[in-house]
Chains A and B, each alone.
Chain A
Amino acid sequence: MNFITAIQTVFEPFTLTVIVASAIFGLFVGSMPGLTATMAAALLVPLTFYMDPVPAIGAIVTCSAMAIFAGDIPGALLRIPGTPASAAYVSEAYQLGRKGQLSRVLSVNLIASAIGGIFGTLVLIMLAPQLAQVALRFSSYEYFWLALIGLSAATLISSSNPIKGLTALFLGLFLAVVGLDVVTGLPRYTFGTVDLMGGVSLIAALIGLFAVAELFRKAATIHEDLPPPAQVTGAILPQGLSAIAQYRWNALRGSTIGTFLGILPGAGADIAGWISYAVSKRFSKTPEKFGTGHIEGVVDASASNNASLGGAYVPALVFGIPGDSITAIVIGVLLIKGMNPGPTVFTQSGDIVSAIFVVFILANLLLIPLGLLAIKAARHVLRINQRMLLPIILMFSIVGAYAVNNSVFDLWIVLGLGLLGWIMEENGFPIAPMVLGLVLGKIVEESFTNSMIKAGGNVIAFIDRPIAATLAFVFFAIWIVPFVLRLAGRRVPRAS
């Protein structure tokens, strides 16, 4: 691969213009709850018909990297995640903002996102063919254990009352059951409505549980007219840099986990943030600070969701198997441009692939200046009077929830889950495990049922393969080790 010609291809005025324009578009889309990176990428497709392959793919790559970072901005400002990928650490980021550390948390989001993105790209450049082989070893058995490990993360992220955390997780799992059963095509818990056959839309649920529940809370205390918390002033970037320097291993660990989850088709950015955040807490020296406005987990998770983007291109380029919905679109664009994904893509279209790698790096570097501008602009939002701001947020939430599916029915989901989220938080039930249950629910059931069908009901098959057995071991270790430690009688401080 010739990176000199690749760089020349990318640094043409037209390509650069396209990349910068799609970067700004991505930042905007990501920071709006209800607008997703997938929607943005799909919108770019007809435009890419008229472009060369490099600007065409570059537009989608840049747009998605920006959108995943930008999802953090409304999270920290308003406790409303802009994309599902930011949902895991939205409370933590918001708490930091309340403490006056808005600049710090947002610049950590920004720098960690860039680090994660570049890490994922480097892995993609150096190890794509080998890692794609590993991804192909994952069948439903492996996904089943992986999904259970993901669910275990819920017990780590919900701190206070474990029973209430478990309840929230299973409420989320239940919401994921609603709709047509994949195996039999049978409607479950749809009460005869066609709209519910498609299940509960994740975006509508996020807007309900986070945005609308938060608006209810704010409306109930509207008389207080609280001024926005005083913010630490000064340059933005250095605040984040010092935090990243302190937690540099966390950034690396988040990037590694994110890249790996990105490589596995079907996992992706939405799940990466949760797992990284939970891992961060599990191995932290100060796990008790998590959930009170502690930057450590944010470093892991911000790096992780951006790292997963690069990972998703591994199976896409090598086997034409999309790692997520965005790479599915990218594969389509590649085909139109006469490039067939497959192991030969690196030799036959080597120059273009190298150029795409250069775009990846460039997009993550561009993230810093453009993200900084976005942060500066976004901070002004908090200066708006609450009585004006809340109605404006509600209108964006309503239209955003409607826009995802063009469905009035989704508004009723938003309202119902908004009320539920409000009641739950007021009574000490955490929201985060519920969202995790909703994200993972389908994978849990499908991988379990498919495995049982394949094995003809024989459960031994679940641990009959080396990777599956390893994952099963990890899963049981997560649950048994703390138990054994407690049984050992000594109150072992969680030092690991």
Chain B
Amino acid sequence: MLKVSDLGSGLAIAGLGLAIIVQAQGFPSVGASPVSPAFYPGLIGTVLLGCGLALALGSLLKKEAMPLGVLPEWLRRPGNILAVLAVPAAIIAYGLLSPVLGFLATAFLVTLGLLVAFRVNWLWSLGTAFVLSGLLHLVFVVLMRVPLPYGFIEALLP
């Protein structure tokens, strides 16, 4: 990912800490407990706010070279960009497609897409996707008895 200067990350963390504190103010106190449900998250938010400010301040004092951040190396190589993007794409595709298509079809398509994005040739990709989706089904559904999403291919199995 991108490298951010301590000023940037410090400010982001301080912002998160502040947001945690602000959100905690809305928690109502229920019952007779001497500790409000806002106390502990408020404490966490305060520490994060402090850490973030300390990082940002340290960065200013040290006069870090980077203003906020620099472009990372991988953004200059199309092959790497494709590989990096394929990771979230695979997770999202699995999450959205598996309830519709069922596990086997989704796993096959997602694996195939991943392998192609990682520049594996088509023949190997097809073979691996086929074997891997079957293997995952065997491990999780047959051996571990996890009910993975049921789809049209599963309906054909005995």
A contacts B: CB pair < 8 Å: yes
Provide the bound-state CA to CA distance between A216 and B55, in Å: 26
Q: Which of A32, A164, A222, A398 is within 8 Å of B91, CB to CB?
A: A398
A212: interface (CB < 8 Å): yes
Binding site secondary structure of chain B = helix
Q: Is the CB of B148 within 8 A of A167?
A: no
Q: Closest residue to A398 on the B side, CB-wise?
A: B94
Kindly state the separation between the CA atoms of A183 and B34 in the bound complex, as whole angstroms. Answer: 11
What string of 1s and 0s marks CB contacts (under 8 Å) between A412-435 and chain B? 101100110011001101000000
Q: For A478, list chain B residues within 8 Å (CB).
A: none
Q: Is the CB of A188 within 8 A of B110?
A: no
| 20 new A-B contacts at CB < 8 Å, known A445-B40, A452-B33 | A29-B144, A39-B144, A166-B47, A167-B13, A170-B44, A174-B20, A181-B37, A184-B37, A186-B28, A189-B20, A189-B23, A219-B86, A221-B80, A388-B118, A391-B90, A423-B2, A427-B6, A449-B40, A452-B35, A453-B35
Residue in contact with A220 in the complex, picked from B33, B47, B80, CB distance below 8 Å: B80
Nearest-Cβ distance from residue A290 to partner chain B, whole angstroms: 23
Which residues on the A side are within 8 Å of B128 (C-beta)? 388, 391-392
**What 10 pairs across the A-B complex have the smallest Cβ distances?**
A457-B34, A391-B114, A219-B83, A220-B74, A184-B30, A403-B146, A387-B118, A167-B51, A411-B95, A423-B1
Which positions in B face A, CB cutoff 8 Å? Answer: 1-4, 6, 9, 13, 20, 23-24, 27-31, 33-35, 37, 40-41, 44-45, 47-48, 51-52, 54-55, 58, 72-74, 77, 79-80, 83-84, 86-88, 90-92, 94-95, 98-99, 103, 107, 110-111, 114-115, 118-120, 124, 128, 132, 136, 139-140, 144-148
Complex formed: what's the CA distance from A449 to B15 in Å? 27
Contact with B along A383-421 (1 / 0, CB 8 A): 000011011101110110011001010011011001100
Say yes or no for A163: interface residue by CB 8 A criterion.
yes
CB-CB under 8 A for A391 and B118, given A163-B55, A408-B98, A414-B91: yes
Count residues of A near B (Cβ-Cβ below 8 Å).
61
B86 touches A170 (CB 8 A): no
Q: In whole angstroms, how far apart are the Cα atoms of A250 and B27 in the complex?
A: 46
In the bound complex, residues from chain A placing their C-beta under 8 Å from that of B2 are 423, 426
Complex-state Cα separation, A453 to B34, whole angstroms: 6
A403 and B148 contact, CB distance less than 8 A: yes
Cα distance, A453 to B35, chains bound together (Å): 8
Q: Contact: A399 with B148, CB < 8 Å?
A: yes
**Is A356 close to B, CB under 8 A?**
no
In the complex the two chains form, is A223's CB within 8 Å of B51's CB? Answer: no
Provide the bound-state CA to CA distance between A173 and B1, in Å: 24
- Which secondary structure dominates chain A's binding surface? helix
Q: Are B34 and A452 in contact (CB under 8 A)?
A: yes
What is the CA–CA distance of A256 and B130 in the complex, to the nearest angstrom?
48
A186 & B30 in contact (Cβ 8 Å cutoff): yes
Residue of A nearest to B107 (CB): A395
Per the bound structure, the CA–CA distance linking A395 and B140 in Å amounts to: 12
> Given known contacts A186-B30, A391-B114, A399-B136, is B1 in contact with A216 (CB within 8 Å)?
yes
A489 within 8 A of partner (CB): no
On whether the beta carbons of A422 and B115 are closer than 8 Å, the reply is no
Can you report 22 residue pairs joining A to B where beta carbons are below 8 Å apart?
A35-B144, A43-B144, A166-B47, A166-B51, A183-B31, A183-B33, A188-B41, A219-B87, A220-B1, A221-B74, A221-B80, A222-B83, A223-B77, A388-B115, A395-B114, A396-B136, A403-B144, A414-B91, A423-B4, A426-B1, A426-B2, A453-B34
A230-274 CB contact bits vs B (8 Å, 1 = yes)?
A: 000000000000000000000000000000000000000000000
CB neighbours of A408 from chain B (8 A): 95, 98-99
Q: Digit string of A155-175 for contact with B (CB within 8 Å is 1, else 0)?
A: 000000001101100110110
Select which of B47, B88, B103 is within 8 A of A170 by beta carbon.
B47
- CB-nearest residue of chain B relative to A177? B41
Within 8 Å of chain B (Cβ to Cβ): is A215?
yes
Is A448's beta carbon under 8 Å from chain B? yes
B88 and A419: CB pair below 8 A?
yes
A192 an interface residue at 8 Å Cβ cutoff? no
In the complex, are the beta carbons of A406 and B91 less than 8 A apart? no
Inter-chain contacts of A387 with B (CB < 8 A): 115, 118-120
- In the complex, what distance in Å separates the CA atom of A144 from the CA atom of B139? 40
Residues of A within 8 A of B98 (CB): 402, 408
Question: In the complex, what distance in Å separates the CA atom of A453 from the CA atom of B118?
Answer: 56
